[in-house]
Structure 1
Amino acid sequence: PQSPPMLSKYKISINRNLLIPIILSVGLIVALTGYVIIQRNRVYQLTIAAGSKEGESYLFSQIMAKVVNLHQPRIKIKVIETQGSEENIKLLEENKVQLATAQADIPALPSARIVSNLFPDMFQLVVKENSGIKDVSNLKGKRIGLPPQGSGQYQSFLFLSQHYGIKSNELFAFAVSEKETDAAFRNNQVDAVFRVRPPGNQSILELVQQRGGRLVEIDQAAAMKIKKSTLDPGVIPKGAYQGFPPIPPTDLPTVAVQRVLLANKKVEPNVIKEITSILYERRQELATLMPEAAYINPPSLSGGTLLPIHPGAQDYYDKDKPSFLQENADWLGLFLSIGAIVCSWGWQLKSRIEKGRKNQGDGYNQEVLILIKEIQGCQDLKSTEKIRKRLFDEFEKVVNALDCDDISPEAFQSFTFTWEAAIAALRDRQNILMFIPKKPATLNQTQLQP
C-alpha cells in the first residue's frame, strides 16, 4: 500500500533536513583534512639579510641555510648581501627579509625578535707600524678606513670615538667596502683600519701578517659598558693571528659584542622553533663548517641583549625547562604528606562521629524494642494507651536528634522501621484486648441471702 501524500511529504522534508548537516559535516572534514595536508607539506621561503660577503655573518648565514634545508627540506633560506647590521634591521622592520644577523649593540626596531646569540665579535683596530698610533686617542688627525655607513661596525666606531673624545672633524674617515679599505691600507692611503670581527678574521690576518699592520688595545670596555649594556670586556688571545712570532704578542684587551640572529615577529613560531632546534642540535655540524658556530648560545637579558625572544625560539628553550610540578616536587610532596595525615585524622574523626551517631540510633531502637515487649504483656487498653504515648514521645525525641545531627539519616530510617513495627504490634494488641470478654462480677455470701 502507498503512503498517504502528507506522510510522503513529511519523509521528503526529513530527508532534506538531514542532508544539509551531512553535506556540511563532510565538507568541513574534507576542508580540515586538506588544511592539515597543506600545512604538513608547505614549504617556507625565508630571506636572511647577512651583511657583506667578506664577513663572518654572511658565511654563517650560508652554512645555516644549507644545514637547515638539509635537515628540514620544508624550510628554504635565501641569503642576501647588505651593508651590515643597520641595513639588516631596517629590512627586517619592513618585512623585506624574515631573518637578519646583527651586532647586539645596534638598536633594533619594534618588529625584531631575537632568536639566538651566534658568536662574539671584537672591536679590532689595526694600525700601520710607522703611524705613531699606540691607543685610540692617537687617532686624532689620522686617516682611518671604516666599514660602510649602513653597517653596525660604522656605528660602533662612532660610539668608540665619542667615548675617547674624538670629534668627527678631528680625523679623516673613509667609509668604504672591506676590499677598498684593505687596498687603501696596502697602498698607505690610510693609517688605520677599524673592524668588528671575531678573532682570526681572514682580512685582518692578511693586514697584520703581510701588510705591516699592528693591533692596538682598546682598554676601556668596562667603562663603555656603563653607557651600552650590550658591550663587554673582551680579549684577542695571544697568537690569534700567528703562533710564532705570536700576533698579537700578548693577550690584547678590547671590546666584545655579540653577533645575534634576529627574526621578524610575524614569522610563524613553529618555523623559528625548527630553525632554533637545528642551530643547537646540529651545532657540531655547523662548527665543523665554521668554528665560530661553537659559540652559539641562548640569549639572556642579564647578558645585555634587551630584545624580546621570538616565541618560537622561546618554545625551544623551554623544552627542557622543568614543569611547575617538577620544580616544586619537594614542597608538593610535603603538602601531600601533611594533607594525607590531615585527611587520615579527619577520616578517623568522621568515623568516630558516625559510630557515635550510629550507637545513639541503636539506643533508640533498643528503647522501642523494650516497648514492644511491654506491649505483649499489656492486659488492658489503658496500659496500651500509655505505651502509645511513650512511643510518640520517643519518635519526637528521635526527630529532634536528627535535626541536631546527633544521629544519621540512615539511623533514623532504621528507627522508623522499628517504630512502625511497634505501632503495628500495639494495634494488634489493642484489637485482641477489645474482643476478650470481661469476667462477670463475683457475688459474696451476703448478696445471696434473701
Structure 2
Amino acid sequence: MYKDEQLDEEKVFKDPVHRYIHVKDRVIWDLIGTAEFQRLRRIKQLGTSFLTFHGAEHSRFNHSLGVYEIVRRILFNFDGRPHWNKDQRLLCLCAALLHDLGHGPFSHTFEKVFKLDHEAFTRQIVLGDTEINYILRRVEEDFPQKVADVINKTYEDKLVVSLISSQIDADRMDYLQRDAYFTGVSYGHFDMERILRVMRPLEDQVVIKQSGMHAVEDYIMSRYQMYWQVYFHPVSRSAEVILTKILHRAKELYETGYQFSLKPTHFISFFSEKNAVEDYLKLDESIVLYYFQMWIDETDPILSDLCVRFINRRLFKYVEFNPNAQMKEWMDLYQLFQKVGINPQYYLVDDSSSDLPYDFYRPGEEGERLPIHLLMPNQELKELSRQSDIVESISGKKRTDHKLYFPMDFIEALPDDQPEKSEIKAILGLS
C-alpha cells in the first residue's frame, strides 16, 4: 500500500543545522520531487535580510525539510507513549514538509501589497490540480483535506496541529536555528535535542517535562533576540520598504495604462486581483528580480529609481519616529517633501514592527495562543510563565518599534540655499 511504502534504501540530505535529514517514506520522497515543492528552492526564507546579512541566502526548501526532520525526530520519541496515535505519523510528516508551500517571492511583503494569504495558497496547492495533490490522494482520497486542515489549524486532533503550530513547535525550532546559522548571529541557538527528549504527547497538546524548563527558557529568549536583532533589523526593513513601493508603483502604473517597455506579464493576475494559483506558482524571486533589473530602464522616474535602489542596495536611511505621537512633524515633512518635488507617497515611509515573545492563555482574546505547559513530577500541568521568572519577565509584553524611512541622497542633493532643506533636516534630526 502506497501509504506504508518504504524506499529500498533510506535517503539522506546533508544539512548544516540538523546534520542529516532522513527520508524512508516513499510518499515524502515523491512530495519533495514535485514541481510545487521544488519551487521553494527559488524563494528565500528571510526575504530581504540577505541585503543586511550576506549569508542569509537560504530557502524555504531548506527550512521545510528541516521542519519535517524535527517532526520525524519528535515522532520517533513519541513512539509507544500513551496519548500518541501512531496512525497520525504520515499526516504529521506531510503537514510539516508542506506547511510553507504557499509562500510567494519575498513572502510577507508580496502578501501585504497584494492582500494575499500564503496559508490560503498552501491550501489551494494541496487541494488543487497539482502534483502534490495527486501524490497525497494516492495515500487516501481524503488525505489532502487532512493535510490542509492540519496546516490550517482546524484538524480535529489538536496534538497533531501543535507539532507544527504552537508556541514551541517544529516550525519555530527550525527557523530560529537555521536563520541564526545563515545570518552568522549567535542568538538563535538553544538545546533542541534536550527539548525533543523532554517533549511528551497529551490528548490535545505537546507538553514539556519540568526537568527541561531551562532548555525552553533558552528557546524563548533566543526567539526574543532573533526578532529584534535579525527579523526586525532596520536595514532589512529599509529594503522591504523599497520593495513594497516598487510593487505599489508598478501596480499604479499598470492601472493608469502606462506602457511598460517590459510588459509585467507575471504580475497581471495580482495587479487585477485575480490571484490565480497557477500564476502564483509561476512566480519566484528570480522572476521578480529579473523584472526589477529590467524596470531600471523604464521611463517612469519613480519606478526606475526604486529598482536601482533595490538592485544596487542603495537603501533609504531611517530615524526613530512615531507618527502617532509626532503627527504635526509628520504632516510638516509630508508637505515639505511635496514642495521640493520628492513624492512623499514613495519616499517618506513610516514602518513599525512589534513582537510578543511569549503569551500566556487569556481566554476570549483575539489571536489567543495556547501556552507552553510543564509536566510536573506529580503529573500536574503548570503554565511555563508561572514557573519561570525569566519567561514571566517578558510574558504578554508586546514591544513595538517605529522608524521613518527616506532617501538621504535626495535631501542632500537639494540646494543649500533652499529653506526647505534645512527644515526637513531639522525635523528629521539630521542637522
TM-score normalised per structure 2? 0.22
Tell me which protein shows more strand as a share of its residues: 1
TM-score normalised per structure 1? 0.21
